[in-house]
Amino acid sequence: MFFLKMAFKNLTRHKRRTIITALIIAFAILIYVITEGLMIGMTEMSFDNIINLESGHLQVADQNYWEDRKELQLKNLITPAAEIENKISQTDGFEALTRRLNFAVNLNNGIDELPVTGVGINLETDSRVFELDQHLVAGRMPEAGSTEIIMGAKLAELMDFQLGDYAIMLIRTEEKTFNTIDGEIVGLFNTPHPSLNESNVFLPLSTVQERLNVEDKISHYVVRLNDQDLASNAAEELSSRLSAPYQAYSWRDAARSLVTMLEMQDIETQIILAIILTLAAVGIVNTVILSALERMEELGMMKALGMHEREIVYTFMGEAAGIGLIGGVMGVIMGIIGLAIFNINGIDMATMTGGGDMTYGFPLSGTIYAGWELESFIFVFVYGVVVSVLASVLPALWAARKDPVKAIYHR
């Protein structure tokens, strides 16, 4: 079509201006792609840490216990039964289950005391569900039936503990009486989950049950599936088969606050994109106005020869679309290169914070890598082109509505 040929000719007429304007859009897309990639990477790493180190894919607990689980009370515990475990094992995607008992601990080194979370673990089955044993940096896992414990290397450093030291753990039993466990520290771990490193100690489940006087009760079952995307549906299906008051909860239920925060972060990312591309649209408007001013005589002549206003508008919109396409392609290529460089080197959070953890609510530490989704590239590319076209409409209408005689004589 004629107006498309005109648009292409106008793009090549001022190559430098076209490239500079396209670069504005390209850099806007680059910023969005890197920001989105960082968010995706942090989200995936956070979810992996929660699943592999804290919650598993599913948890089965008493509904009343679940509501107050952060209080670490020894009420509404589960008495393990073959019937419950058989129902759990029939869950779609089931791989393994383990028993755990969470409880409150005051950790004492003889001078200082610190409240932490104690976790009684079944040493025979825990490694089938969690990856805690893979993050030991010193020592070994406890032996079943012993009072041996493992803790985070950072917690040990904070409390001035070393491998082989004995830690005094003050606990409160189900009858509200106090008891102590003198545990030998046989292992230190350093996981990518900061709060686990700083506030958790792990002991054999049987020892915890004995010292807390809860018989063989547990706080919850933890289940591993072969696909994390099955968790929500599996939780609903399993809950329908469990007898009250027991219910299954997915890892998303266990990390509800984090999931909500990430949803808000996604909204913020889209707002950032809108602001950046809106600023880039200013460059499009400026380009169209300059182009119209430079070709005012030409526009007047075309209108005098019978060219319609809409065809002039389409010409400028086609020119803006071309700039958007060029900027979009450049931005996507720059984004791919940026993400590749990002993932080769990563960002070491410890280096950025002088050895500390920078979580901002994310349960992760160490080196962060970016993620990417094809849908994000397609979305930002299309969004960039659409913004470019829309930004050209008003200045194009201004140019198209000029009186031909005044346009010819620049009046």
Instruction: Print pLDDT tens along the chain (411 aa).
Output: 555 565 566 666 667 777 878 888 888 888 888 888 888 887 888 888 889 999 999 999 999 999 888 888 888 999 999 999 999 999 999 999 999 999 999 999 888 899 999 999 999 999 999 999 999 999 999 999 899 999 999 999 999 999 999 999 999 888 888 889 999 999 999 998 888 998 999 999 999 999 999 999 999 999 999 999 899 999 999 999 998 899 999 998 887 777 777 777 777 777 776 777 677 667 677 766 666 666 666 666 666 666 677 777 777 778 788 888 888 899 899 989 888 887 877 776 655 555 555 545 566 666 777 777 888 788 888 888 888 788 777 777 776 666 665 555 555
Count of Cβ atoms closer than 10 Å to residue 347 Cβ: 16
Q: Tell the burial category of 75 from Cβ atoms under 10 Å away from its Cβ (0-12, 13-18, 19+).
A: exposed
Strands 149-152 and 178-189 come out as parallel
DSSP 8-class letter at 124: T
Interatomic CA distance for residues 30 and 38, integer angstroms: 12
Whole-number Å distance between alpha carbons of 316 and 329 = 20
CA distance 96 to 363: 24
Of the candidates 387, 411, 365, 393, the one whose C-alpha atom is nearest the C-alpha of residue 26 is 387
Q: Encode burial over 177-211: b for 16+ CB neighbours within 10 A, e otherwise.
A: eeeebebebbbbbbbbbbbbbbbbbbbbbbbbbbb
Q: How far apart are CA 114 and CA 183, in angstroms?
A: 15
CA nearest 217: which of 379, 13, 61, 34? 61
Contact criterion met (CB below 8 Å) for 340 and 29: no
Q: Are 113 and 107 in contact (CB under 8 A)?
A: yes
**Virtual torsion, Cα 245, 254, 142, 350, nearest 10 deg:** -170
Asked whether 34 and 370 are in contact (CB, 8 A), the reply is yes
Report the DSSP beta bridge partners of residue 347. 368
Dist. CA 204–CA 18, nearest whole Å: 68
Give the whole-angstrom CA distance, residue 395 versus residue 290: 10
Question: Of 279, 291, 307, 324, whose CA–CA distance to 398 is shortest?
Answer: 291
